[in-house]
Chains A and B, each alone.
Chain A
Amino acid sequence: MPIELTMPRLSDTMEAGTVVRWNVKEGDAVKSGAVVADIETDKATMEMPCFDDGRIAVILVESGKQVKVGTPIAVVALEGEDLASVKANARHAGAAVAGVSGAVAAPAVVPVAAVQSTVVASVQTETSHGMEEFGATTARMRVSPVARRMAEDAGIDVSKVVGTGPAGRVIKRDVELALAQAQSNRASSTVAPGASATIVTGSAMRVSTNAAPTSFAPLALTLRGRDVALSNMRQTIARRLVESKTTIPHYQVTMKFSMDALLAMRKSFNEKLAASGIKLSVNDFLVRACALAMAEHPYFNASFAGDSIRIHEQVNIGVAISLPQERGGGLVVGVITDADHKSLRQLSSDARTLAEKARTKGLSMQEMSDATFTISNLGMFGVEHFTAIINPPNSAILACGAAIEQPVVRKGVLCVGTEMQVTLSLDHRVIDGAMAAEYLRTLKEFIEEPETLVV
């Protein structure tokens, strides 16, 4: 039997994935464990291994295409199997998939009826939706006949309509809703064309993306431009950060640290460690300082849980890592686990490994999970000061600027010193202003007396 490679579910929230690149072509021999494709999930780009030895008979989903989880994307012919006939057999499935790329906009809907059919004892009452009984049907777009006809008559692209029927089937009421929304949008835009009053919340017709829950109608009809499709990661960023910024009562507290002592110590360490290939960054010291400060300030290592505050036992420091454009851009948060128990050397090595992996192969779910506090550092770009949006379910995030030489006053004398500004963004449900100030003071002590970070 030829082996069907399907879009894997690489994260809990993943509903669809994009084949970023195929590393094989039709006819290529593959070995078990070989990476056949790079798959972009809603969170990261990850490698997809093959689990069998054989030859790629057919590639069903070309690179750049997004398909739902579970959709066949390629077929592997095993040893002794005829490549051509495997390919021919796979074709009808491929034809079905071809029409899908536009359709995956619709989120996979869990077939509720599948659960219900087990409740209904009667064998004759057909209350199941009739699909699960004989196994899943192909992953093609599901539209009820009347919904398809109504959409056609109204000139609506049915692939843009969110299906609420079993397995995401687009049904009559979905098209009716889309029609009603399209009409109301048309109505509002004819009232005041081009005026700022035409801002409407909600997209034209529940066009399904995992993106931000709100988007805005164009302010002017004369502007020209091009539309860039949202990558899965961009959709996730849009969704999660809107959620964070709109549901968490953010506020910021800034403090300036003198960096002279730390930079001197870093220079000295790096000179001595150069032979072993270790190069400590300012950020490594910062990670250690933030982690050690948790012992005194447990609420900075906590999550707001509705009716309680969960204080985590583990200190896992998340580090925001920006990704290069050739990996699709965006950013991920790599997680250094048990950061309060790791030496500077270990922290530095962990951070470097995470950043390199994120920028080349992509991080695993585990490497991106369970941060309890996050640091975002734009110092390397020369940024003096910025504020960050909390990475839920964290209660705080530290935005770190550059260490900059500047005139400072020391004991009444104007001199040149190196200073760095850090800004905490905080969840006021968990942390009050004075608590934030105290946390920053602890950080300041660690940074300005860096020996305390080593011992």
Chain B
Amino acid sequence: MSAVMSNPLFREPLSIAGATREIEFRDAVREAMCEEMRRDKRVYLLGEEVAQYDGAYKVSKGMLAEFGAGRVVDTPISESGFSGMAIGSAMLGLRPIVEFMSWSFALVAADPILNNAPKMLYMSGGQFGCPIVFRGNDGAGGQLGSTHSWSVEGLFSNVPGVKIVIPSTPADAKGLMKTAIRDDDPVFFMESERLLSMKGHVPEAEYLIPFGHAAIRRAGKDCTLCSWGRPVHFCMEAAEILAKEGIDCEVIDLRTIRPLDLPTVIASVRKTSAAVVVDQSWSFASPGSELAAQIHRHCFDDLDNFVHRVHSDDVPTPYAVALEQEYLPNVRKICEAVRSATYRA
């Protein structure tokens, strides 16, 4: 069996056969963008330092050289301005990729990205679509302080019309980015600064991963752990620890939270009777609370306990390294939640 993931915790390979090679998460995102830009002349990248500096996090390394300044565009530090510009170009037929150095900075572009892009098709009566990808780092990057450590999916997933992709592996990042670029609706693509250097195997052959299809990272019978993005890795670690205690966890990586793959989650919870949702955004009105509500609704007669949730603590992100670690959903919190949900506390 060819290892698709370099992370040994990921036992289930993607269902994509064939040769693979190992690359970093940032390479996976770049490969996806480059492949799509070669394929479709309408696709272009813009953002702060994406061109001449090769991207603040080197995601767009070498892209200026390949595609030229017309398609890899450096912008001023003006998220509201360049987001609005990109949306206008999308309405007129281009397919822009907007890089936010951090999704935390996208808050100043809230009006174009939340009030214009997702509603354009609806408000124009179908005259204008908005095929656009907004991408950047999301979540606590590691001592970046309260204002630069947002998990914006908590806020943005509330808006109808957006698609939200939060990959946890290089292979998913590549397959989902290609799907995002080809999608005719606005897609919020959320990377993690802490995962950019993570290595993983991706298939040599071209592949796309459809939205709304969760991956079962680990099969288990006692408790369903649902997560997306970086905390999936914490769930896998927790599952290893819990397995030694005799608690067999099934770990589901949702991969996209809009659309949300409820059938996979429901089938799993019907099997395990216990569910823990792990979401690194804050708990109040979050993707995690939505998923928990859906599980309660669809699995009511299957549950042996209420759905437990692990989130970031309900405070601004602390700067101190130990506090930040304690604030985030971490392995200890996940283990405690699973033990409680399965009455093994």
* Interfacial residues, chain A to chain B (CB-CB below 8 A): 112-113, 116, 120-130, 144-149, 164-166, 171-173
Contacts and interface: CB of A to CB of B under 8 A. Distances in A.
Nearest to B282: A124
B345 A116 contact: yes
A164 B343 contact: yes
A113 B305 contact: no
Contacts of B137: none
A124 B303 contact: no
13 contacts: A123-B314, A124-B314, A125-B310, A126-B306, A126-B308, A129-B305, A129-B340, A145-B302, A145-B303, A146-B301, A165-B305, A166-B343, A172-B304
A127 B343 contact: no
B89 interface: no
A124 B305 contact: no
B313 interface: yes
Interface in B275-293: 282-283
Contacts of A173: 343
Given A129-B305, A129-B340, 15 more contacts: A116-B345, A122-B313, A123-B314, A124-B313, A124-B333, A125-B337, A126-B306, A126-B309, A127-B345, A128-B340, A130-B306, A147-B304, A149-B302, A172-B273, A173-B343
Contacts of A127: 308, 336-337, 339-340, 345
A164 B342 CA distance: 12
Contacts of A116: 340, 345
Contacts of B283: 124
State the main secondary structure of chain B at its contact with A.
mixed
A124 B276 CA distance: 12
B185 to A, nearest CB: 32
B311 interface: yes
A177 to B, nearest CB: 13
Contacts of A164: 343
Contacts of B301: 145-146, 148-149
Interface in B294-345: 300-306, 308-314, 326, 329, 333, 336-337, 339-340, 343, 345
Nearest to B310: A125
A124 B273 contact: no
A165 B337 CA distance: 15
A109 to B, nearest CB: 11
A130 B337 CA distance: 12
Contacts of B313: 122-124
Contacts of B306: 126, 130
Contacts of B312: 124
B153 to A, nearest CB: 16
A351 B224 CA distance: 65
A127 to B, nearest CB: 4
Nearest to A127: B340
Contacts of A145: 300-304
Contacts of A126: 306, 308-310, 337, 340
A144 B303 contact: yes
B163 to A, nearest CB: 27
Contacts of A172: 273, 304
Contact of B333 (A112, A125, A147, A166): A125
Contacts of B336: 120, 125, 127
Contacts of B302: 145-146, 149
Contacts of A171: 304-305, 343
A166 B306 CA distance: 12
A146 B273 contact: yes
Nearest to A126: B308
A162 to B, nearest CB: 13
A442 B339 CA distance: 62
Contacts of A112: 345
Nearest to A165: B343
Contacts of A113: 340, 345
